[in-house]
Amino acid sequence: MSEECKYSCNTATETLEWIHAIVKLIAPYRYFLDAHVVNFFKDRLWEAVDEEWMDCLRKEPVENLLRIPSGVVRDHWPGSLKKFILTLRSLSLSREQADFQELSGMHITSISNVLAQGMNHKKKHEVEALSALVSLVSDQVGARTVVDVGAGQGYLAQVLAFDYQLSVIAIDACAHHGKITDARAERIKKHYVSKMHKNCTKQREFSVPKTVTCRVLSSDTLKALSNSPAENDLTGNQHLSQNCSVSQPSRLAEDILPSLSYSDSTLVIAGLHACGDLSVTMLRTFLECDKAKAVISIGCCYNLLSEEATGIADSSCGFPVSQGVKFAGVMLDKSARDLACQSADRWRGLGEHAGLHNFELHAFRAAFQMVLFRHYPNILLESPTIGRQGKALRRQQNQRILESNLHHGGPSEFGEPREGVAFHHEYSSIQNSKSSESRAVDRYSLFVKFCESGLDRLHLPHLGDTAYSAVWRESESYAELIGPYWSLRAALGPVLETLILLDRLLLLQEYGNDLEARLLPIFNPVLSPRNMAIIAKKIRN
């Protein structure tokens, strides 16, 4: 049960209306947005939530809690709670993968084994869909050159070059990635040349991606990039693949793209999960570079976006970027932007046991914060990072279970399970084991291991059992509230991501009638939660 979205974003006016509705809705719930859940016990975060909501949800089965971020409610819940969840859903972009048959001329083809080498299932799915979309848009705007921003190891760039015969410039901040891209491209080229020779087919020239190493600097104007422009070698229709080490700052729109593109060529700028501000840089570059006729941007890592300080008009910040959102005075701190990265689809797919044990890990981390607060208060002033301690414990236990199963001839197909599933396997195996050692392992002993692992990472001495047990006894009585609180907070994730994406779309729509822009979910949201592409094309020269 969920309400359909009542808003649209076909024009700047419609988009801004949608944004204002989101801002109005989330205003009373800033306590969720600004919360650091590691302080759940220390700051008694549950006390800020409607008491009727918490009393209701603390009794709910885990599977019902996991469906809250997807906008699913139960009839017996309080009316105000149902309205909150359903309204959030109605203001969120639909993440269901688009029907590409509606895009005339777009055909997704399976990547060959040689091109797919090194890709996991998620990456292959993403590259197949995005490369087909980039090819379609390139044809629509008459461009034969694609700039792959944040190219990584060149998976997208190589598919565009070898399968779609596009000229590709692959820009990445890591020189090592450029070398890998070059090496893979040469191996792929040799494979195809050898195959043509073996089959006695007509030889054709292959365009390998040109790699450029550019280090992204601070967020000034269009994100200053260092570069030394690569020279194009068009002899025999061959395109040199070069790494450009750089020294002097250059603007991406004014220097790098025009100097790297072919003189008679127009550009399409594309990026598959370009991190943080880089996705916004792509949009600004598209607006300012005359040769850029289209952009396809799929962002990620909203928590890494730079944010405009109050009273300081920095046009290069990552959020907000549109004038409409800036004038509305909307601000999201890192905690809220991190929340925007939550995936309702993955929450829904966790299952009861995985969800339960994920909640228990959050309780461990929040209780560990109490240990630090009481026994090492100075360390909290340094904002310590202890890493994914639960994940480390799960890996250790999973390895022991795997070895035990192999030794006894049990199942061996563990692979790399999802975070919650992994914990479920090891935790259940511990609890269900018939050995005396396993029977002695309970939630408290796991909490002690969690604390000691965290203290080790912080280079702090271990505490006595009394210190751990005192914190655990105090926290355990409220641990059942972690699931309801976390689920309600996660329900804000999709609407916060919607706000960030609409802000980017509005930036393009504010440009005027010289371009058309849209949002389109192009990946399966379970496989790839950041599945929303911003697609824009200039319709006038």
pLDDT at 179: 84
Amino acid at 191: H
pLDDT at 439: 34
8 A C-beta contact, residue 258 and residue 243:
no
A 10 A CB-CB count for 224 gives 20
User: Among 375, 348, 392, which Cα is nearest to 63's?
Assistant: 348
CA 145, 141, 210 angle in degrees (round to 5)?
5
User: Among 369, 434, 421, 362, which Cα is nearest to 395's?
Assistant: 421
Beta bridge partners of 226: 249
Segments in the chain below pLDDT 70: 1-4, 195-205, 214-264, 308-315, 383-385, 387-441, 540-541
Distance between CA atoms of residues 315 and 222, nearest Å? 9
Token pair in block for residue 151: 């190219």
Distance between CA atoms of residues 126 and 130, nearest Å? 6
First to last CA, the chain: 47
pLDDT tens-digit readout, 136-173: 999 999 998 999 998 888 899 999 998 898 999 888 87
Distance between CA atoms of residues 210 and 65, nearest Å? 48
Query: Quick one: 458 exposed, middle or buried, by C-beta within 10 A (0-12, 13-18, 19+)?
Result: middle
A 10 A CB-CB count for 525 gives 18
Q: Helix, strand, or coil here: 205?
A: coil
8 A C-beta contact, residue 186 and residue 158:
no
Token pair in block for residue 487: 């689920």
Token pair in block for residue 263: 């003189």
Distance of alpha carbon 250 from its chain centroid, rounded?
28
CA 183, 184, 188 angle in degrees (round to 5)?
120
Distance between CA atoms of residues 194 and 440, nearest Å? 62
CB under 8 A, 24+ apart: contacts of 244-249:
244/212, 244/213, 244/214, 245/175, 245/213, 246/213, 246/214, 246/215, 249/217, 249/224, 249/225
Phi then psi dihedrals of residue 323, to 5 deg: -65, -35
pLDDT at 266: 85
8 A C-beta contact, residue 147 and residue 186:
no
Using the structure block, give the residue that is written with the tokens 């960030």. 500
Distance between CA atoms of residues 387 and 458, nearest Å? 10
CA distances from 102 to 97, 228, 520 (A): 12, 42, 12
Distance between CA atoms of residues 225 and 222, nearest Å? 9
Token pair in block for residue 266: 């127009």
pLDDT tens-digit readout, 362-393: 999 999 999 999 999 988 887 666 765 555 45
8 A C-beta contact, residue 498 and residue 93:
yes
Q: Where in the chain is the domain with CATH 3.40.50.150?
A: 110-229+265-308+316-324+504-538
CA 142, 147, 149 angle in degrees (round to 5)?
145
CATH of 110-229+265-308+316-324+504-538, one of 1.10.10.10, 3.40.50.150, 3.30.2000.10, 3.40.30.10: 3.40.50.150
Sheet with 167-172, edge to edge strand ranges = 210-213, 167-172, 145-149, 267-275, 292-300, 532-538, 515-521
8 A C-beta contact, residue 282 and residue 290:
no
Which one-letter DSSP state was computed for residue 216?
A: B
Distance between CA atoms of residues 388 and 392, nearest Å? 6
